[in-house]
Structure 1
């Protein structure tokens, strides 16, 4: 899942991003509303973690523009204001969820995951294809009855392949969903991660390479 964190306090923004990356999400960071809208026009995000009181363009206006766009991005709004009227206002302009500072990172991560699932309403919480079962909430993968330990990137790549339900996913799509915007588009990271994923899933191989197109779970 790809997440954009918009927070003008650099230390907090980096802490949120690091926590979400530890949950296997691809995370980009913006520090003001203008930079956020610029990234949102270039990249597709599943969830936007949006501080309401950001400079240049206020968080309320960023939220309004997202809601008015055709993008399926879900918005988790952050604010230091604990008043119920502020929460009602945030939800009233289109935010999907609201979290008051200070907050527990565990709660923020849980809310982001829940919103990501909501943005893919047709996707079941547990993904299955053939012998492979992936549980996003428990971060567990099994091939048959065998537990398969995966790295964060391997888990993220497998998630996207399973979501395709037998369809082909290009290396560019995997790079966009499992890595952040700083990833080199010419990197061999996707190919190397697929190689490791095949090895861990075992024989016979379940990940097919479709030459010139991408990868799929058979």
Structure 2
């Protein structure tokens, strides 16, 4: 799942982005409201984490603009001001929830999970493909009774494949969904991660070709028998 973090405090943005990446999210970071607006027009995001006090365009105005243009992704606002009037202003502009700085990370993660559960991304709580199971709420992946220990990129890759089943995912599409815009890899890196993911699946009892290579195009899951 992809999150856009719009925060002008660079140190805080780096801390939050690192924590969210550890939670298996793909995170893009911008530092002003206009850049945030431009970013939402280029990519589809599952959630926006939006500071209220921003240069160029403040968070409340950005949220209002998004809603007036029919953007429906959840918006979680960050603010240093814990007053009822500030919360009402943000919620009236279209925000879904509020977190007050200094941010408690566990509370932030819980609020993000709750917002994502409300949206379309939670229509299938547990993703399955035969004996393979991925739980987006707990980040647990198993094959049969065997728990798989995946890196964040391996997890993101597998979640993307499970959400698309037999649809072929090209390497460029995989990079767009699994890597942040600040650190896109060469396409060869996708091949390396796919190989590692196959090895872990095979060690857990899956067939070696559970993830199929469609030569010249990309990857997909093998047809279930």
Q: TM-score range by the shorter chain?
A: over 0.9
- How far is 1:179 from its partner? 0.6
Alignment map for 1:7-18 (pairs within 5 Å): 7-18=7-18
SS of structure 2 residue aligned to 1:45: coil
Does the CA contact (< 8 Å) of 1:72 and 1:119 recur in 2?
no
CA positional deviation for 1:185: 6.0
Find the residue that maps to 2:27 and give its secondary structure: strand
Q: TM-score, normalised by structure 1?
A: 0.92
Any conservation in 2 of the 1:7–1:51 contact (CA below 8 Å)? yes
Which secondary structure does the structure 2 equivalent of 1:39 belong to?
A: helix
The residue aligned with 2:51 is 51
TM-score, normalised via structure 2 length: 0.89
SS of the equivalent of 1:188 reads: helix
Distance in 2, matches of 1:117 and 1:107, equals 15
The one-character-per-residue Cα deviations of 1:172-195 (angstroms, maximum 9, x if unpaired) are 222122110023464322111111
Counterpart position of 1:147:
147
Deviation at 1:47, TM superposition (A): 0.9
Give the stretch that moved more between structures: 196-205 or 179-188. Answer: 179-188
| Counterpart mapping for 1:207-218 below 5 A | 207-218=211-222
Q: Which stretch has the larger CA shift, 183-192 or 76-85?
A: 183-192
Q: How does 1:122-133 map to 2 (within 5 A)?
A: 123-133=123-133
In structure 2, the gaps of 5 or more residues are: none
Q: CA deviation at 1:169?
A: 2.2
**What is the alpha-carbon root mean square deviation over aligned residues?**
1.7
**Aligned counterparts of 1:212 and 1:157: Cα–Cα separation in 2:** 18
Measured after TM superposition, the shift of residue 113 of structure 1 is 2.8
Q: Is the 8 A contact 1:46 1:72 kept in 2?
A: no
Matches within 5 A, 1:98-177: 98-121=98-121, 123-177=123-177
Measure, in 2, the Cα distance between the counterparts of 1:20 and 1:49. Answer: 11
CA distance in 2: counterparts of 1:86 and 1:184, whole angstroms: 37
Q: Distance in 1 between matches of 2:145 and 2:64?
A: 47
Aligned length: 218
Secondary structure of the residue that 2:187 maps to in structure 1? coil
Distance between the aligned counterparts of 1:79 and 1:68, measured in 2?
Answer: 22
Do residues 21 (structure 1) and 21 (structure 2) align?
Answer: yes
> Could you tell me how far apart the structure 2 residues matched to 1:15 and 1:89 are?
27
1:53 is paired with a residue of what secondary structure?
Answer: coil
